[in-house]
Structure 1
Amino acid sequence: MSQKSLIGKTVLVVEDDPKIRQLLNIYLTKEGYEVTEAVDGLEAKEKIEALDPCILILDLMLPKISGEELSRWVREDLKSMMPIIMLTAKVSEKDRIQGFKLGADDYVVKPFSPAELMVRIEAVLRRTASRCGKLSFTGFTIKPAKGEAWINGKQLELTHFEFKLLHTFMQHPNQVLSREQILMSIYEKNEKSVSDRTIDVHIKHLREKIKEKTPKDYIQTVRGMGYKFVAL
């Protein structure tokens, strides 16, 4: 599995068993996913609304709000097509059919193999790639379709080109990008006559706006080569 292909893949694990949460966190982090957790259905609702994860690993037997209710809320109230993998001790054919009717993309019975679950997650994400409308990495979250960006939960007020710059950098973490590569990525064909100086100005303004929210320097200048978005 390519680490690069997982950039932005935020997994919400909703499970009341701390041992299972810890096990999944270890495996998912090792595979390159960004992991957040919820211990009950109510906390899960809050995190889904706040974080908009790319996939939900959902135990069905949860305190406060059941996994079934949560799944129904995601599909019917939120109208979200967020991929859902149900993780449960319910083993009957009737339970599995009900899970799929509630909108599950996969159904995994406990006890399970963590390695097999990783493969299932990858397969579900491949099938549902178009559903994940955001990119999250190293504290940043952006929604390309909406043109919205945040750093550590604080919204960044970016111009159109600043947003496209950030999007380009987040798609190529720890890679040196030349000004020509950046230009090709963010400008339309009829705008290719812009100068390197214009790119530098946009990057300067983007850096300033990021530094208003955090002291870390995420965009570094590589002398004679271009710029690099550093995953700190």
Structure 2
Amino acid sequence: MPIQRKNILIIEDDDKIRKLMKIFLEKEGFEVIEAADGKEGQDLFILHDPCFVILDLMLPYVNGEELCSWIRGKQNSQVGIIMVTAKSSEEEKITGLKIGADDYITKPFSPSELVMRVETVLRRTNNHCKKMSIGGLTIKPEKGEVTYKGEMIDLTAFEFLILYYLMVNHGQVISRDQLLDYLYKAQEKVVTERTIDVHVRHLRKKLHLLALDHYIQTVRGMGYKFVIE
């Protein structure tokens, strides 16, 4: 199971269009999350914290304009957004851009054009995608944040760095010496082997409260590793 992959949330109530977009985006290596209405889109946005959102304008329950404003406002997100609509008037396009969309595409459109537009916007918003996610656990190195299903996990600087280093090297056994060297370079503070064990123990306790401690395993006599099941 990949831990680093750019994930796109498609919020589109037309099943055929949504499935077509999914097929072409997955061919380009994206992980695609699907929502068939605005309310489901909100829930999945909170759960997955996507790199990108493709958003239909006319949606059940919560329309595209409301959803775009919610993402930009309440979530304070830098995520890339492309609005999709059957309406082609200049006024509609201006409205979409004013409320925070990065681009606008009108139905019908070719899937290859959509992929091109996604990649163009991603080049401008790529910092939001420099994160790792697995099972709802997301770490954002550029912000120093760790969340689980959208909720912040309060970690110390050392706990954050240990989790990040283990996740980056998932599946590999990381020795205490490697962690010591990494933490010293990152913090320029002296850390001992015993301190490493204390920080890992505290990190596990915090993950245990969320039933996530199984990700970090001890390899006796060698060190630790982050395991994706």
TM-score range (shorter-chain normalised) is 0.7 to 0.9
2:167 to 170, 179, 193: 170
Matched AA of 1:172: N
Shift of 1:209: 3.8
Q: 1:206 to 1:78 in 2, by over 3 A?
A: closer
2:193: which partner in 1?
196
Q: What CA RMSD, in Å, does the superposition of the two structures yield over aligned residues?
A: 3.7
1:139 aligns with 2:130: no
Q: 1:215 to 1:96 in 2, by over 3 A?
A: closer
2:99 to 95, 98, 102: 102
Q: What SS class does the counterpart of residue 188 from structure 2 fall into?
A: helix
Whole-angstrom CA distance in 1 between matches of 2:8 and 2:183: 29
Is the 8 Å Cα contact of residues 68 and 99 (structure 1) preserved in structure 2? yes
2:63: which partner in 1?
66
2:36: which partner in 1?
39
Matched AA of 1:68: E
Whole-angstrom CA distance in 2 between matches of 1:98 and 1:53: 23
Whole-angstrom CA distance in 1 between matches of 2:105 and 2:211: 40
TM-score by length of 1: 0.72
Whole-angstrom CA distance in 2 between matches of 1:195 and 1:47: 41
Measured against aligned partners, the alpha-carbon deviations of 1:26-76 in whole angstroms (never above 9, x if no partner) come to: 555565545433322233334445554332110112123321232234335
Question: What is the 5 A alignment of 1:16-165?
Answer: 16-28=13-25, 33-49=30-46, 51-76=48-73, 78-131=75-128, 135-142=132-139, 145=143, 147-150=145-148, 156=153, 158-165=155-162
Matched AA of 2:79: M
Number of aligned residues = 227
Whole-angstrom CA distance in 1 between matches of 2:76 and 2:154: 27
Matched AA of 1:81: Q
Matched AA of 2:86: A
Whole-angstrom CA distance in 2 between matches of 1:221 and 1:98: 54
Is the 8 Å Cα contact of residues 137 and 146 (structure 2) preserved in structure 1? no
Shift of 1:140: 1.0
Shift of 1:221: 4.2
TM-score by length of 2: 0.73
Q: What SS class does the counterpart of residue 217 from structure 1 fall into?
A: helix
Whole-angstrom CA distance in 2 between matches of 1:201 and 1:92: 61
Is the 8 Å Cα contact of residues 180 and 192 (structure 2) preserved in structure 1? no
**Which range moved further: 172-181 or 99-108?**
172-181
Matched AA of 2:80: P
Measured against aligned partners, the alpha-carbon deviations of 1:138-176 in whole angstroms (never above 9, x if no partner) come to: 4312455364432x6776554432222212223333344
Q: 1:181 to 1:51 in 2, by over 3 A?
A: same
- Where structure 1 has 5 or more consecutive residues not aligned to the other structure, the ranges are none
Q: What SS class does the counterpart of residue 107 from structure 1 fall into?
A: strand
1:179 aligns with 2:190: no
Whole-angstrom CA distance in 2 between matches of 1:115 and 1:230: 36
Whole-angstrom CA distance in 1 between matches of 2:11 and 2:100: 16
Q: 1:27 to 1:9 in 2, by over 3 A?
A: same
Whole-angstrom CA distance in 1 between matches of 2:70 and 2:15: 24
